[in-house]
Amino acid sequence: MANFYKTKHRSQSFLLPPNMMDWLQGDDIASFLIETVEALELSAFDRSPEKDSRGRPGLDPRIMAALLLYAYCQGERSSRKIEGLCVRDIAYRVVSAQIFSYHTSIAWFRKEHEEEMEDFFPPAL
């Protein structure tokens, strides 16, 4: 092989920004949604104590709410597509804090908290 080709080593490690927010531009809607959800009162999304003692720990409701809001802003409603985007898309990875939840978890959260999620959107005029 000639040595004047620029080669890539796919297995070579590289450094990523230590802060995932650096992956986004400053005016990205994902940054706005993350900050907004962090400022909201989301106690209605908390699980009941009897559910906390069974099974594996639940996903953080702030992350799940931000993920669904971001997906809705992008026009995506399919839980399966959101699951895939959390792996492939940088903004979805940042919003989900790299917690790759299954489409069933996303759909369950949406169904379980449908009424609480409606409070995020103003009524149509």
- Going from N- to C-terminal start, the domains of the chain cover 62-120
Q: Report the percent of the chain where pLDDT is more than 70.
A: 76
**Does an H or E element contain 109, and which?**
helix 103-112
Instruction: List all residues 6 or more positions away from 21 whose beta carbon is below 8 Å from its beta carbon.
Output: 31, 34, 94
pTM comes to 0.79
Q: What is the pLDDT of residue 111?
A: 92
Q: Judge whether residue 54 has pLDDT over 80.
A: no
